[in-house]
Structure 1
Amino acid sequence: IIHHINLIRLIHGVCPLQEDEYLDALAQTYANELTKRGIFFRDSNNYSKKYGIIEGASLFSQLTAIVSRMYDEKNHYNFYLNFGTPMTSHFTQLVWKSTRSIGIGVLKKNDIFTIVLFFYPKGNIRGEYKKNVFKKQISWKKTMI
């Protein structure tokens, strides 16, 4: 998952994320809570005030497809504006330039995997989009010529 995210970040001209053990532990705790409750919820610890959080659920064979679906939100993002929308918040967090660290939590229950990603510093900051979200810098089509 982290390699997939870092490839996306590379394509958009931003540094790769470093996995952080503390963030891994937070993300795992969050994934455990999501699985226990059986629903996605707003965190009572207010983690979302400090960390960017992305949640998803999938079959094992489709875990990287979660990241691909988040990345597909780019099709709805307007790179000329300085704001995001709820329809693009996963994409913008994935490629947010000032984000440096990631934590990953995964839990399996009944053949379904819950995945939680914690990002620090968090992205999707109002008024900061133009400085942090960029169009593709690399085109695979151009590199294959």
Structure 2
Amino acid sequence: DRDDNDRDDDDRYDNDRDDNDRDDGNDSDNDSFYRRASKPDKTKKPKTPKKPKMPKKPKTPKTPKTPKKPTKPKTPKKPTKPKMPTKPTTPTTPKAGFEQQILDAHNQYRAIHKAPPLVWDPKAATHGNNWIQACQFKHSQNRQFGENLAYGYKDFPTAIKAWYDEERLYNYNNPSFSMATGHFTQVVWKSTKAVGCAVKYCDGYRSMYICNYSPPGNMMGRFGDNVEPPRRKA
């Protein structure tokens, strides 16, 4: 019996070994399969050659600009003829009643010295207007008219009052001409009959005032007859 058992055991052993050997063989085949499958193929794909660049089109040369024709030198302009002075215009009245305002201012002071009232003289006004257009603060040296000038005052009545205010400096005991009182004596000169005035705005002077009197006053040797003492103070 023991021998039979031993043989049986040997047969089982051989069978097991054969099975193991078959298994081992399968494993090695499987391992080699997996190794082959997992390893990437080292052979690189051939790169596709890049397309050759096309040569750039040659730039067309710019057409040379035609040189500008030399410009003819400008002929110098003929000197313009100086404008002829315009004909004197009658002075414009800045406000309504301009002439009357001037006459009233003169005549109120003349009445104090017994001198007759003045009337408006258009020729005297035109002469004065023409003269002050140059904005020169000096007398015109026209012997046809007596002349008073002023500048910087707000209006004619204020300027005429400034002329008359020289009266306080006049010496009635020695009636004669003086530079300090010449405006006053012309305002109240008894023989003067008419007056014409004008005003102009001048830079540096503001407003310039001029009055021309006819006939002219301040005549030498006639002050006693033409400049009387005041009846009362203005």
TM-score when normalising by structure 2: 0.52
Q: Look up the match of 1:87.
A: 180
The equivalent of 2:114 in structure 1 is 13
1:40–1:109: structure 2 CA closer, same or farther, 3 Å change rule? closer
Aligned length: 132
Answer yes or no: is the 8 Å Cα contact 2:139–2:147 preserved in 1: no
List aligned pairs for 1:1-145, cutoff 5 A.
Answer: 1-33=102-134, 35=135, 39-43=136-140, 46-47=141-142, 49-60=143-154, 62-109=155-202, 112-138=206-232
Greater strand proportion: 1
Moved over 4 A (4+): none
State how far apart, in whole Å, the 2-side matches of 1:23 and 1:64 are: 18
1:139 Cα deviation from its structure 2 partner = 5.3
Q: Give the C-alpha shift of residue 63 in structure 1.
A: 3.6
| Higher relative contact order (Cα pairs below 8 Å, separated by 6+ residues) | 1
Whole-angstrom CA distance in 1 between matches of 2:120 and 2:225: 23
Distance (whole Å) between structure 2 residues aligned to residue 64 and residue 42 of structure 1: 20
Unaligned ranges ≥5, structure 2: 1-101
Which residue identity does 1:105 align to in structure 2? A
Structure with higher helix content:
1
The more displaced of 91-100 and 72-81 is: 72-81
Distance 1:9 1:56, change over 3 A: same
CA positional deviation for 1:108: 2.0
Bigger-Rg structure (1/2): 2
Query: What is the RMSD computed on CA atoms of the aligned residues?
Result: 1.8
Q: Is the 8 A contact 2:151 2:209 kept in 1?
A: yes
TM score, norm. by length of structure 1: 0.82
